[in-house]
Amino acid sequence: MNQKKKLAVVGAGMVAHRLVEAMVERGADEAWDIEVFGDETRPPYDRVALTSFFSDRDPEDLLLGDGELWKRPGVRLYRGSIVSGIDREAKQIHARNTTFDYDRLVLATGSYATVPPVEGSDLPGCFVYRTVDDVAELRAWVLDREAVLGRKVKGAVVGGGLLGLEAAGALTALGADTTVVEFADWLMPLQVDQAGGGALRRIIEQLGVSVRTSTATSKLRAGRDGKVSRMQFADGDRIPADVVVFATGVRPRDELAREAGLELGERGGVIADEACLTSDDSIFAIGEVAHIAGRVWGLVGPGYSMAEVVADRLLGGDATFEGADLSTKLKLLGVDVASFGDAFAATNGSLEVVYADPTAGVYKKLVMSDDAQTLLGGMLVGDASAYTNLRPMVGRALGSDPTAWLLPEGMEPPSGSSLPDEANVCSCNNVTAGTIRGAVTDHQCTDIAAVKQCTKAGTSCGSCVSLVKKLMETQMAEEGLEVSTALCEHFSVTRAQLFDIVRVSEISTFSELIDKHGTGRGCDICRPVVASILASLGKGHVLEGENATLQDTNDHVMANLQKDGTYSVVPRIPGGEVTPAGLIAIGQVASDFGLYTKITGGQRIDLFGARIEQLPEIWQRLVDAGFESGHAYGKSLRTVKSCVGQSWCRYGVQDSTTLAIDLELRYRGLRSPHKLKLAVSGCARECAEARGKDVGIVATDKGWNLYVGGNGGFTPRHAQLFAEDLSTEELVQAIDRFLMYYIRTADRLQRTAPWLEAIEGGIDAVRAVVFEDSLGIAADLDAAMAAHVDTYEDEWAATLADEKKLLRFASFVNAPETPDPDLVYVEERGQRRPADDEERAVLIAGASIPVRDAEVTV
């Protein structure tokens, strides 16, 4: 075997991720072993989207890629591992108390956030805004201060640039009264001119954020509790501040390079040439730490280009980085701001075309060449809808009347087909219009997801997605292809249409349906959808007869598939209330079967590592102890989370736990387009986090407030207020109708939030259906829910009572009770978990395995 070379990458941020991805895409991992060291505890994540963390987002959702990258042989990610030194002589780096050899080294250490030398800037309550940990701490701080102080938190953000306004938006969203303090004479001085900054200020002030420009912060003072409480300015003025965010800029993290004697830029940054090589020709620098072509590049797009250059160079190519597009488009506090090209009209003789509407809070400027023909750049504040179309036109003739681009109802912008092939559409990932057209013509992409995957366009900041879509659709029309809303290749209709077909027809099986309304044998998309529709309409249980062949393995065996092919089992614990005896019973089952146990976010207990042939035995034990299926596997109701409420809590105004239990028992087993989560809080303090759920209920002294359309996950949303002060009876009826209407009309895998956005008339129309019966279907919806409640039965118990169904739990048809011989476990913190590849190799080579479960042998 020929020796692979070693590549070490210091820093596991966005650009490092792109580098590894680019290497793997080009097959460079055949020739290189790649080791990546990151001092953050998380794998690389989308820093650009950091602010979205505040809308209740799970940090997991920010992670870049699907994680497969780090599992590839030859690729290794060391998280939480700071690199403390580079020995250029020995070609080694120091990390994890040891040394690692390299043939080539890549510095991708990014930047750190700077804090100005202001007295008191280290007080508790002062934050920067750079990492997930930063924002998580900030969020916890604001929520905690609000609870302790019993009033709105006062927030101050130092710095009125891009980051500062993002931070101000985040603080405002957390419910803080926020002031932005900017040293320059206007906001976002690096992106917009004074007039643009003025427009921005007016809009932001209308949103309730105070703005102080031309102001220097001089001191921060603590209150009696030692936490920050006041901010003082150079002009003597001061404001209260319970939380302070510094967003005054970033500096390259070049300390390793400095100690190693690499050449640095005057204001920091590791100097590198157009090949991204530093003054040591075994060491590259990329991303925000690199100083190339005379400057550092503080955006992710140029960093990605550098990563591509290094990947190419490592494979013997000669790609170069010569600078990049610094255009930006942002939505800050809901306000559009964009600048592109020569936004400050620095080009000799350039002309500016300005359109401003102060009442509407709009300021737009185009910078044109001296003959007013060629677009050089521009800035848009308040309405940046023209950005996506304008930016690719930089350096091109705009046509007869440039001003037409700026008017609100301006000239029709160039249609998708008139953009030249070489126009750069996605500046984050450097994708041209031609590449997107090629995805349709040469790679048979016919939907936006396929185009994004094929070209990477629109996968970073996302601002170009609408243009990408338009280009794709125009190209598809030119090729004579239809733009499709089909469920999949087998059904040409949407899920909602299919639902109606099944509802009004006599059809009650998949084979009938696909015979009459589809083609082929179906697939892993349409089969589960049809199963769910049939179940929602009461046309046969999800596991009866032919329906059983439509189910994903999770639904099929009523447990959740895990990475090693075993399952996890979650008994229902309605409202999160469980007796000590119940807990002991669950514990005993887990202990007898050697299951790994973990408490879930939905207030119940997950038991991992059950082999398929063990499932019936495990259920039997749980059913005997009074438990039933928790439907953790289904696109169905998961849990109704609750706080302890009035019965114990000194603040509670209603009995939230009892309501949660009643609701969970009412909706258990209800099949829906996606999982459904509910929660009930016993007072406005909202300890159950009900506003992060599809249906959230918050007690008031007069009854219940109902919120709908919240979720965590990929695109987290806060639920919106649907109705106030309902009695319990009114509440239950409203939820019945809301859920049934959603189940009937939503698309596959569409949660309630996007459904509310997509449905005609939005939340108001749904409210009218639920409370005013605007469509005349309320009785129908009520009846459908009543039927569900009446026919519910526990799927586990029903399966245990059915000899035939039990057959599916055989591990092998010809050896029904033989465990999968390839399972290998190791012990960690007193429980077992699947062995990783390395541990497997060792264990299979013969050593004994340190597990308690005697059944598991190798």
Partner 1 sequence: MTAWERVCELDALVPDRGAAALIGGHQVALFRLSDTGEVHAVDHLDPFSQANVMARGLVGSRKGVPTVASPMHKQSFDLRTGKCLDDPEVSLQVWPARVTDGWVEIQVDARSSAA
Q: Which pair of structure tokens corresponds to residue 735?
A: 């939820």
Q: Which does 644 bind (CB under 5 to 8 A by kind): ligand SF4, partner 1, ligand FAD, none?
A: ligand SF4
The site string for ligand SF4 over 802-821 (x = CB under 6 A, - otherwise) reads --------------------
Q: Which does 808 bind (CB under 5 to 8 A by kind): ligand FAD, partner 1, ligand SF4, none?
A: partner 1
Q: Which residues of 797-832 are buried (b: 16+ CB within 10 A; e: fewer)?
A: bebbeeeebeeebeeeeeeeeebeeebbbbeeeebb
Indicate whether 146 belongs to the interface with ligand SF4 (CB under 6 A): no
Phi, psi of 18, deg, nearest 5: -65, -35
Q: Which does 120 bind (CB under 5 to 8 A by kind): ligand SF4, ligand FAD, partner 1, none?
A: none
CA–CA dist 13, 348 (Å, integer): 39
Is 683 known to sit in a ligand binding site?
yes
CA–CA dist 270, 290 (Å, integer): 5
The site string for ligand FAD over 322-361 (x = CB under 6 A, - otherwise) reads ------x-x-------------------------------
Indicate whether 727 belongs to the interface with partner 1 (CB under 8 A): no
Indicate whether 552 belongs to the interface with ligand FAD (CB under 6 A): no
Q: Which does 148 bind (CB under 5 to 8 A by kind): ligand FAD, ligand SF4, partner 1, none?
A: none
Is the separation of the CB atoms in 81 and 62 below 8 Å? no
Strand 831-834 to strand 283-285: parallel, antiparallel, or no bridges (unpaired)? unpaired
Among 721, 801, 807, 847, binds partner 1 (CB under 8 A): 807
**Site for ligand SF4, residues 678 to 707, rule: CB under 6 A:** 681-683, 685-687
Is 526 known to sit in a ligand binding site?
no
Phi, psi of 656, deg, nearest 5: -70, -35
Indicate whether 551 belongs to the interface with ligand SF4 (CB under 6 A): no
Indicate whether 16 belongs to the interface with ligand FAD (CB under 6 A): yes
CA–CA dist 105, 8 (Å, integer): 5
Q: Which pair of structure tokens corresponds to residue 423?
A: 């126009």
CA–CA dist 304, 306 (Å, integer): 5
User: Segment contacting ligand FAD (CB under 6 A): 211-219, 299-307, 699-707, 803-811?
Assistant: 299-307
CA–CA dist 440, 457 (Å, integer): 13
Helices 14-25 and 300-314, interaxial angle, to 10°?
40
Indicate whether 23 belongs to the interface with ligand FAD (CB under 6 A): no
Indicate whether 13 belongs to the interface with ligand FAD (CB under 6 A): yes
Is 461 known to sit in a ligand binding site?
no
SS3 55: coil
Among 57, 104, 212, 253, binds ligand FAD (CB under 6 A): 253
Task: Give me the DSSP letters along 294-309.
Answer: TEE--SHHHHHHHHHH
CA–CA dist 613, 855 (Å, integer): 13
For 470-497, the three-class secondary structure string (H helix, E strand, C coil) is: HHHHHHHHHCCCCCCCCCECCECCCHHH
Residue 610: beta bridge partners?
A: 567
Minimal distance, residue 193 CB to partner 1, in Å: 50
CA–CA dist 400, 383 (Å, integer): 22
CA–CA dist 750, 467 (Å, integer): 23
Q: How many residues bind ligand SF4 (CB under 6 A)?
A: 13
Q: Which is nearer to partner 1, 517 or 767 (CB)?
A: 517
Q: Which residues of 103-131 are buried (b: 16+ CB within 10 A; e: fewer)?
A: ebbbbbbbbebeeeebebbebebbbbbbb
The site string for ligand SF4 over 154-193 (x = CB under 6 A, - otherwise) reads ----------------------------------------
Helix and strand tally (H, E) in the chain? 24, 39
Q: Which residue is nearest to ligand FAD (CB)?
A: 13
Is the separation of the CB atoms in 292 and 299 below 8 Å? no
Among 54, 100, 129, 321, binds ligand FAD (CB under 6 A): 129
Indicate whether 651 belongs to the interface with ligand SF4 (CB under 6 A): yes
CA–CA dist 162, 177 (Å, integer): 19
The enclosing H or E element of 745 equals helix 728-745
Q: Which does 40 bind (CB under 5 to 8 A by kind): ligand FAD, partner 1, ligand SF4, none?
A: ligand FAD
Q: Which is nearer to partner 1, 66 or 790 (CB)?
A: 66
Is 488 known to sit in a ligand binding site?
no
Q: Which does 288 bind (CB under 5 to 8 A by kind): ligand SF4, ligand FAD, partner 1, none?
A: ligand FAD
Indicate whether 561 belongs to the interface with partner 1 (CB under 8 A): yes
Indicate whether 391 belongs to the interface with ligand FAD (CB under 6 A): no
Q: What's the CA dihedral at 385, 391, 396, 400 to 10 degrees?
A: 10
Rg (CA), the chain: 30
First-to-last C-alpha distance (Å) of the chain: 29
Q: Which is nearer to partner 1, 461 or 531 (CB)?
A: 531
CA–CA dist 730, 387 (Å, integer): 47
Among 222, 810, 826, 856, binds partner 1 (CB under 8 A): 810
Q: Which does 312 bind (CB under 5 to 8 A by kind): ligand SF4, partner 1, ligand FAD, none?
A: none
Q: Which does 523 bind (CB under 5 to 8 A by kind): partner 1, ligand FAD, ligand SF4, none?
A: partner 1
Q: Which is nearer to ligand SF4, 651 or 714 (CB)?
A: 651
Q: Which does 807 bind (CB under 5 to 8 A by kind): ligand SF4, partner 1, ligand FAD, none?
A: partner 1
Among 25, 185, 479, 524, binds partner 1 (CB under 8 A): 524
Among 648, 651, 714, 812, binds partner 1 (CB under 8 A): 812
Among 83, 451, 533, 558, binds ligand FAD (CB under 6 A): 83
Q: Which residues of 693-710 are buried (b: 16+ CB within 10 A; e: fewer)?
A: bbbbbbbeeebbbbbbbb
CA–CA dist 782, 778 (Å, integer): 6
Task: Give me the DSSP letters along 765-813.
Answer: HHHHHHHH-TTS-HHHHHHHHHHHHHH---HHHHHHT-HHHHGGG-SST
Indicate whether 34 belongs to the interface with ligand FAD (CB under 6 A): no
Residue linked to tokens 């690096």: 190
The residue ranges that bind ligand FAD (CB under 6 A) are 10-16, 37-40, 47-48, 50-51, 82-83, 108-111, 129-130, 163, 166, 253, 256, 287-288, 298-301, 303, 328, 330, 461
Binding site feature residues for [4Fe-4S] cluster: 643, 649, 683, 687
Binding site feature residues for siroheme: 687
The residue ranges that bind ligand SF4 (CB under 6 A) are 643-645, 649, 651-652, 656, 681-683, 685-687
The residue ranges that bind partner 1 (CB under 8 A) are 489-490, 511, 520-524, 526-528, 548-554, 556-557, 561, 563-565, 612, 807-808, 810-815, 818, 820-822
